[in-house]
């Protein structure tokens, strides 16, 4: 089973599922011509998607366009269902930097047909992920800087202050639909500036106070 490292822990943590929220930043929804949703858009990636820091991304041969989405990742430590937002942060074990890689052309076709998104979101290597830092080292997640560069050129530069649902609210709404277990990872949405990467590109992502993540596209 895939596992992740929490810097302050002695043993790795086995990962369960990865639950993601779409369009949690209004500016990103608008850049793709999407409506800002009033009901949550939730989807999952399997743990087998994870690529560690320094790893290699392989774009599947059925896709023409693979987009980067830098996101704050939340590691669940205490399980729960229908978690109230006021208690949600008590369920967190740690935070990390993630990239929700998305096959945009495949996703557009799936959206047109009304089909599920997994073929665009859940391919092998679709979730580069840094090591986690323990929750008690992060004072506040409401004003974190999220950045992503491709080959040294800054593409995404946003703040978690612009999230439509806060980290606590994301945990709460995901737990309304799915039981959250220890080892589950939640991706909390991407700021504006998403765009394509191709073979040979290097992605460098960073979140202030959380960490950095670099991967290469094969
Ligand atoms: Zn995303």
Count of domains in the chain? 1
- Encode pLDDT of 31-58 as tens digits: 888 888 889 999 999 999 999 999 999 9
**Alpha carbon of 99 to ligand 1 centroid (Å):** 8
Backbone angles phi, psi at 167, to 5 degrees: -55, -45
CA angle 106, 32, 173 (to 5 degrees): 85
Instruction: Count how many Cα atoms sit within 13 Å of the Cα of residue 186 in the half-sphere of its side chain.
Output: 30
User: What's the pTM value of the predicted model, to 2 decimals?
Assistant: 0.97
- Supply the pLDDT for residue 1: 84
Q: What is the CATH classification number for the domain harbouring 118? A: 3.90.850.10
Domain that holds residue 32: 3-217
**Alpha carbon of 87 to ligand 1 centroid (Å):** 24
**Alpha carbon of 102 to ligand 1 centroid (Å):** 8
Reported confidence tier of residue 197, pLDDT bands at 50, 70, 90? very high
**Alpha carbon of 131 to ligand 1 centroid (Å):** 19
Block residue for tokens 């609210």: 169
- Are the C-beta atoms of residues 73 and 95 closer than 8 Å to each other? yes
Backbone angles phi, psi at 169, to 5 degrees: -70, -35
- Encode pLDDT of 107-118 as tens digits: 999 999 999 999
- Helix, strand or coil for residue 82? coil
Give the separation between CA 153 and CA 156, rounded to whole angstroms: 9
């Amino acid at each position: 089973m895939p596992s992740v490292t929490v810097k302050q822990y002695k043993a790795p943590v086995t990962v369960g599922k990865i639950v993601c929220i779409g369009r949690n930043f209004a500016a990103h929804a608008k850049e793709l011509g999407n409506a800002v949703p009033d009901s949550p858009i939730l989807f999952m990636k399997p743990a087998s998607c994870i690529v560690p820091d320094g790893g290699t991304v392989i774009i599947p041969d059925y896709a023409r366009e693979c987009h980067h989405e830098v996101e704050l990742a939340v590691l669940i430590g205490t399980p729960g269902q229908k978690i109230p937002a006021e208690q949600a942060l008590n369920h967190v074990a740690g935070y990390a930097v993630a990239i929700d890689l998305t096959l945009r052309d495949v996703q557009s076709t799936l959206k047109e047909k009304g089909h599920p998104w997994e073929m665009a979101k859940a391919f092998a290597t679709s979730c580069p992920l840094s090591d986690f830092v323990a929750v008690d080292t992060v004072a506040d997640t409401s004003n974190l800087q999220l950045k992503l560069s491709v080959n040294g050129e800054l593409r995404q530069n946003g703040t978690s202050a612009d999230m439509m649902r806060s980290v606590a609210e994301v945990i709460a709404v995901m737990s309304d639909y799915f039981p959250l277990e220890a080892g589950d990872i939640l991706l909390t949405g991407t700021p504006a500036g998403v765009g394509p990467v191709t073979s040979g590109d290097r992605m460098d992502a960073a979140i202030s106070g959380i960490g950095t993540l670099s991967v290469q596209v094969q």
